[in-house]
């Protein structure tokens, strides 16, 4: 139980500064398909991701830079795979979505790099992680962690991080769960 005036002030300061927030402050997360993250960030690909994506879509959807490969962006800054359906923005790369996109807006680190170790610590599968959420995401709801977050979302993120699972259930937008991607 971390809530109370003191922790509310800490949370407010973290969110307003844009710094990653320990998961203990997160009640739940649900993507609202605003597409902001897919415009703001540049996605770096692992070697395997780059091979799979370019095999299917060609080299032109990625750009090389300083020994790494990134997903290409359009002139307006959006990821080349972001597309609009009505008032929602969806990822067109669900079946080959890079791991960094799957984990967003959470960061799973092996050390408490953003501080507050006790609030960021999460143990699962015999491993210890320090989990933070990026307050830039509009789908985060702050408060006491919900059962869904602790029992389903965080374990799924760890399994994705460790390469034990690909399929997303709790760590993707509800609309993406309903669409058959292949």
Q: In terms of DSSP bridges, do strands 106-109 and 88-91 run parallel, antiparallel, or are they unpaired?
A: unpaired
User: Residues 49, 97, 132, 171: which binds ligand SF4 (CB under 6 A)?
Assistant: 97
Tell me the three state secondary structure of residue 36: coil
Q: CA 164, 171, 96 angle in degrees (round to 5)?
A: 65
Region binding ligand SF4 by CB under 6 A among candidate stretches 11-19, 57-65, 97-105, 143-151: 97-105
Region binding ligand SF4 by CB under 6 A among candidate stretches 100-108, 113-121, 149-157, 158-166: 100-108
Residues 137-166 that bind ligand SF4 (CB under 6 A): 137-139
Give the whole-angstrom CA distance, residue 62 versus residue 42: 11
The torsion defined by the Cα of 162, 165, 171 and 174, in degrees rounded to 10, comes to: 170
Region binding ligand SF4 by CB under 6 A among candidate stretches 44-52, 107-115, 122-130, 136-144: 136-144
According to the binding rule CB under 6 A, does residue 120 interact with ligand SF4? Answer: no
- Minimum CB distance to ligand SF4, residue 23 (Å): 15
According to the binding rule CB under 6 A, does residue 81 interact with ligand SF4? Answer: yes
Region binding ligand SF4 by CB under 6 A among candidate stretches 13-21, 33-41, 109-117, 122-130: 33-41
* CB neighbourhood size of 102 (10 A): 20
CB-nearer residue toward ligand SF4: 83 or 114? 83
Give the whole-angstrom CA distance, residue 55 versus residue 53: 5
CA distances in angstroms from 30 to 34, 51, 60, 149, 151, listed in the order given = 11, 30, 32, 10, 15
Q: Residue count at the site for ligand SF4 (CB under 6 A)?
A: 23
Residues that bind ligand SF4 (CB under 6 A): 31-38, 43, 71, 79, 81-82, 91, 93, 97-98, 101, 104-105, 137-139
């Amino acid at each position: 139980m971390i809530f109370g005036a003191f922790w509310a002030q800490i949370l407010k300061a973290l969110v307003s500064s844009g710094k990653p927030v320990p998961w203990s402050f997160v009640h739940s997360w649900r993507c609202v398909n605003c597409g902001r993250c897919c415009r703001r960030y540049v996605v770096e690909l692992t070697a395997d991701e780059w091979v799979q994506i370019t095999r299917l879509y060609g080299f032109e959807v990625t750009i090389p830079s300083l020994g790494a490969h990134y997903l290409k962006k359009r002139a307006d800054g959006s990821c080349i795979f972001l597309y609009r359906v009505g008032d929602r923005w969806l990822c067109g790369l669900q079946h080959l979505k890079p791991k960094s996109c799957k984990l967003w807006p959470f960061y799973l680190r092996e050390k408490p790099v953003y501080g507050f170790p006790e609030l960021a610590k999460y143990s699962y599968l015999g491993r210890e992680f320090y989990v933070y959420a990026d307050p830039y995401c509009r789908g985060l709801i702050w408060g006491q962690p919900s059962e869904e977050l602790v029992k389903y979302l965080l374990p799924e993120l760890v399994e994705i991080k460790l390469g034990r699972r690909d399929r997303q259930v709790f760590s993707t937008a509800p609309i993406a769960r309903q669409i058959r991607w292949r």
